[in-house]
Every structure is written in structure tokens, then in C-alpha cells.
Amino acid sequence: MRRGTISRLEWKWWALGSVALILLTGVPYGLGWLMETPEYAFSGFFVAVEDGNNYLAAMYQGAAGRWRFYNPYTPEPHVGLFAYTLYLVLGKLARLADLPLALVLHLARAAAIPFLLLAVYRFVAHFTPWHAIRRLSWFLVAMGGGLGWLWVLAGGTFAPGAMPTDLWVPDASAFLTMLTFPHLVLAQASLLWLAISGLRLLHHPNASDWLGTALAALVLSLIHPYSPPILIGLLTLHWAWRGWRSGALAWQPWLRLGVASSTALPVLVHMLWVLQSDPVLRSWLEQNVVRSPHPLFYLLGFGLLCPLALVGLLQRALLRRHPDVSFVVLWVLLIPLLLYIPSNLQRRFLNGYQVPLVLMAVCGLVGLLDRIPPRWRSKVVLGFKTFSTLSNLMLLGGFIVLVVGRPPLVFNARAVLAAMDWLAARAEADAVVLAAYDTGNLLPTRALVRSFVGHGPQSVHAEVRREQVRAFFSGALSPEARRALLRDHHVRYIFYGPSERALGDVSPADLPDVRRIYHQDAVQIYEVCYGVPTCQWCVAPSHVSAGPLRVR
């Protein structure tokens, strides 16, 4: 079989594998919804809950009719941003279908999984015609991890930034990506699609590769705007290396690649301009720190792939004659350097990196298998595949145990959700709400308001404001200072529920110009009137009414 051609049997294998991974990654979520009670509702997330709520907030904005994203986690006015486009569209679909936001998000995640798995298989098939190598590479990307399981069994610290990356960095693990959010799945798939379409376009111009390159570049720019420059740069370096080796550098292929991938430019220019010109969004960019951990955690996170990839780089017997092998080599060698350049986005450069690393590692493994007796080869491969899945199986089991325990944030009190829905039906758009950090993170998923604080990178001066909220509810601030805090940030509503009471026992009710407008099941909402003698609602309702925007 020729490189790049996928047989009918391989298509069936891909389809069965896609169904299996959709079901496997959906188990903890299905269990979460089954574990709901009359008092508590599943949030839809068991990992990165804070970020998950951010994506639901973007969906809520889309359901409300917006096409630009407005940061809902800071009180300062700012311009809209063409970001989170996928979630804005998903929000509109959720409203049309009258489905809960979290359910639509995970339906999208499940739908994106086959696209990623096809992109992985297409990438590997471009470089080798051997079915066994394709299937092994595909399996190691889809299910493989590193030595994180060994770290856990040895009693190592289990915390982001201080453990192997296969346990906490989705950009480094396709399985973890498929277990989390749809935009991460599409980002890796689009990156691989752009790589293969771009490589083919460099060799032979045709309509399908023009279209594939253009669409992949556009989608990738909308989801991961920092990925297209990296991938286009790798393609450019690969073509320059080929030209230098052959002594004849062709400019027409470069021009084709540049024109086809220029679909990413409008989004990249918009993002760069807005993030630099608007001080609120610039603060978001500065606070969005995803730096690399110690190199040891990368080595443990990729596990046996690293030494095997080194063997594959040294011999490259299976890929030596392929004209695009230098692209894989450049990708494998250059990304580790980018992971430690001065940048807040270091870990983001890992997007899709597992795939070329696995391909090179499989080449190294095959080279080593040639040196052992044939009767041992299948046993070695089976053992390697088994050890590669242990981290992901441990993660999946751990997440299932977590969901069964119904911890806070993963499960939310229905009384709190009902109060948020009540506010959603009455609050004006983008009204500022003062609440505890956890409440502020959840609130924009239920109402078109802005939280005083609620998301680490997106809330301006997040740590300072968390302390201000604590002081507001604990009594550490004088009444005059509390009023000044409300006035300076144009706070319109105060949410007072379980998280706020946990900060202190000082109710907002004792402040002048503050009126209670909601009181139900130990949750209260106050309106700040700023000297207006009669508030819009000064009588607490006797029951909770549902909001007009029925997206949950």
C-alpha cells in the first residue's frame, strides 16, 4: 500500500476505535449526571472546573445572541473579542435545541474525537505504508501515556506543575485532551490536518490540499491562535532544509503555502491588536501563565517515548527515504527548545507534539525489535502497549472515584443555581455582581452578568480582589470602605450564599442603599441602589421563577 492511502479495513478499525474512545471518555460524565440528587447538580466537569465554567459562560453569551466574547470575570468595561467562537456557536445550538449547555459541550467533545483520531491516522499514514506501524502509532497516541502511574504509586506529589505531564497537561496527551474540552480536541486535529495538507501542498498543488490547508489554518487560529505560526514555521524550515540539501530552493511551494494558510491572518491580527490595545484584555494576556514545569516532569510524562524516539532519530530506517522526514525530525527537536523560551505560553507549544514523538518512537522500537528473536517481538509490543495505558487508566479510575464522592465545585447546590437563574431573568446585561470567588466563577454560566472576581487569569488583579471579597464579608472592612468598594467598581448586585457565609458572618443587609431582592433556601441577593430612594425590586419573592433563557 502507498503512503497516505487508507484501506477499507483501516477505516473500519478507525471507526470502531472512535466509538470505543467516545464511550470510554464519556463514562465519568455519564456517571456524574447519574449521581445528581434533589439537592446537588453535576457541574459537567471533574477536572479544570474553573476553565470549564469559563467555556460555559462563553456558551451562555452565544445563547444570548452574542458573536463576540466579553470577559465575564472582571468588572471593568472592555471591548468584545473574536474568541471562544466554538463555544459561542455551541451556545446558539444549545438554545435552538433547548438543551443544557454542559450537555451540548460534551456532545461536541464526543463528536470531535473521531476527527482527531482520523487526523492522527492520516498523519502517520503519510509517512509509512506499514499497517502494523500505523496501528501501533495510532494506539499509542490515542491511549498511551508516560510514567505518571509510577509517580503516583511511588507516593509523589499529585498537583499540577509538580507531577508528570501525562497526568495534567492535555496538550501533551491526546487521551487527556479527549477527556476534557472540545476545543482542545479540535485544536490538535486541526494542527495535524494543517501539517499534512501543508506538506502535500508543498509538493503538488491540488484543490483538496488548498482547501484543507486554508480551513485547518482558519479553524486553528480561532481555537489556538498561537499554534498556526509554530506549525507554518516548521513547514517553512522543513522546505528550506530540503532546498539547502538539494541545492535548489523552490519558491513557488512556499508561496502556495503562504497564500493557503493566510486564512489565519485576520484572526491573528485581530487578537494581537485587541489584546494589546485594551488594558483589560492585556491584563488577561499577562496573567494567563502556562509555563513549563521542570524538564524531569516532561521526561516522566512522555516515559519510554523519549529514549525510543532518540533511537528512532539516530537510525530513521523506516522513514529515511521519505521526502518529509525532516519535518518530523524538526518538530521533535525544536519543540523542547520552545518549551523554555521566555514566554507565558510555554506549555501551549506542546499542542500535537505527542504525534511526531510517537511516530519517531515507534521507528526506534521497530529497529530494536529487529535485534531480538521473533518469538519475543509480539510480547514486547504487548507489554509496551500495556505499560503505556496505565497512566490513562489510573486517571480515568481516579476521576470516576472523584465523581462518586460528589465534591464541591464538581457538584453545585441547586438552591444556588436557582438563585442565579432568578437573577438571570431580572439583571441587566453585564451588571457587576459581588460574590465569593467560587460563586463568581459559576455565575456567568447562568446569567449574562460580570463577576467582581471569578477566574485567575481573566479577573484583573484576581488575588487582590479575592482578598477584598473576603474582607467585605468577614467584616475586615469598615462600612465606609465596603460602600467605596461597591461604588468604585459599579457593583449592582451582591450574591450572599454558602460560599459567602464561609468567608464571614457580615451580611450586606446592614449597608445603606442596599436592598434585599431575593431570599430563598439560605441564599440572598441584594441590589445596590446608590442613593435611589426606591429600588427596582425591594420585596423578596416568595418563590423562585425561571429565567427566559432556558440554557443550563
Residues 17-33 have pLDDT tens digits of 999 999 999 999 999 99
| pLDDT score at 317 | 62
| pLDDT score at 87 | 98
| pLDDT score at 1 | 52
| pLDDT score at 316 | 64
Q: Are the C-beta atoms of residues 52 and 181 closer than 8 Å to each other?
A: yes
Distance (Å, whole) CA 199 – CA 137? 20
Q: Are the C-beta atoms of residues 504 and 470 closer than 8 Å to each other?
A: yes
Instruction: List Cβ<8 Å contacts ≥24 apart for 468-471.
Output: 469/434, 469/435, 469/436, 469/437, 469/440, 469/503, 470/503, 470/504
What nine digits make up the cell of 146? 508516560
Distance (Å, whole) CA 30 – CA 403? 10
Looking only at the bridges linking them, the beta strands covering 523-528 and 491-496 are antiparallel
Q: Is the pLDDT score of 552 beyond 60?
A: no
The pLDDT-based confidence of 543 (bands split at 50, 70, 90) is: very low
Q: Are the C-beta atoms of residues 166 and 301 closer than 8 Å to each other?
A: yes
Q: Are the C-beta atoms of residues 427 and 491 closer than 8 Å to each other?
A: no
The predicted model gives 535-550 an average pLDDT of 40
Nearest CA among 203, 320, 199, 194 for reference residue 250: 203
Nearest CA among 12, 227, 29, 5 for reference residue 110: 29
End-to-end CA separation in angstroms for the chain: 50
Residues 343-396 have pLDDT tens digits of 999 999 999 999 999 999 999 999 899 888 888 999 999 999 999 999 999 999
Give residues with Cβ within 8 angstroms of 478, minimum separation 6. Answer: none
Distance (Å, whole) CA 86 – CA 220? 11
Q: Which residue has the cell 505518571?
A: 148
Looking only at the bridges linking them, the beta strands covering 450-451 and 40-42 are unpaired
Residues 147-190 have pLDDT tens digits of 999 999 999 988 889 999 999 999 999 999 999 999 999 999 99
Instruction: List Cβ<8 Å contacts ≥24 apart for 221-224.
Output: 221/263, 221/264, 221/265, 221/267, 221/268, 222/82, 222/85, 222/86, 222/267, 223/85, 223/86, 223/183, 223/186, 223/187, 223/190, 224/183, 224/187, 224/190, 224/191, 224/348, 224/351
The predicted model gives 233-262 an average pLDDT of 90
What nine digits make up the cell of 32? 456524574
Tell me the domain boundaries of the chain: 181-288, 414-528
The predicted model gives 227-249 an average pLDDT of 90
The pLDDT-based confidence of 3 (bands split at 50, 70, 90) is: low
The pLDDT mean for the chain works out to: 92
Q: Is the pLDDT score of 537 beyond 70?
A: no
What share of the chain in percent tops pLDDT 70?
94
Give residues with Cβ within 8 angstroms of 398, minimum separation 6. Answer: none
The pLDDT-based confidence of 532 (bands split at 50, 70, 90) is: low
| pLDDT score at 315 | 79
Residues 197-232 have pLDDT tens digits of 999 999 988 999 999 999 999 999 999 999 999 999
Residues 68-103 have pLDDT tens digits of 999 999 999 999 999 999 999 999 999 999 999 999
